[in-house]
Amino acid sequence: MITLNVNGESHQFDVSPEMPLLWAIRDKLNLTGTKFGCGHAMCGACVVHLDGEAARSCSIMVGEAAGKRITTIEGISGPVAEAVTHAWQSLDVVQCGYCQSGQIMSAIVLLNENKNPTDEDINLGMEGNICRCGTYVRIRRAIHQAAKALA
């Protein structure tokens, strides 16, 4: 049995400790906001927060995540999360939307660590998140807007 703390709730699973966290979240907990894009830590569609740090859930085993605070897109809260989500909505960042849970999860961590990111900080902080629809212009704008709202 593995116990995971997801979005403030504790869940017990009878799974191999090697199962990627992504599939425990999506297939066992049915929290489907976290997405599968590449399975090899290359796209960021699966980003969640582990003790507040951005983590690619496709490449972390549940055994490693046990004992940590796991937050998915469904469980985000607080002023930074609200500012980011609001900026995303007011600028209509999304197109297909499939990458956007991961983008938002990465942006929250970026803004938690850096209240006023420059364009270069955004390039670095968002480097691991692919958007195949090419919404980068608006992601950048939304991060700046959220930073301003939080200032």
Task: Give CA–CA dist 32/102, Å, rounded.
Answer: 12
According to DSSP, the residues that pair with 10 across neighbouring strands are: 5
For residue 73, count CB atoms less than 10 angstroms from its CB and return exposed for 0-12, middle for 13-18, buried for 19 or more. Answer: buried
Structure tokens at 56: 């690619």
Structure tokens at 41: 């830590």
Contacts to another protein from residues 51-80, by CB under 8 A = 72-74
Contact window for ligand FES (CB under 6 A) among 31-39, 68-76, 84-92, 117-125: 31-39
Give least dist CB 134 to ligand FES, A.
8
Q: Does 38 bind another protein (CB under 8 A)?
A: yes
Cα dihedral sign, 148-94-26-124: negative
Q: Which residues form the interface with another protein (CB under 8 A)?
A: 16, 19-20, 23, 26-28, 30-40, 42-43, 45, 72-74, 85, 88-90, 92-101, 104, 122-123, 126-127, 129-140
Site residues (CB under 6 A) for ligand FES?
36-39, 41-46, 56, 58, 94-100, 131-133, 135
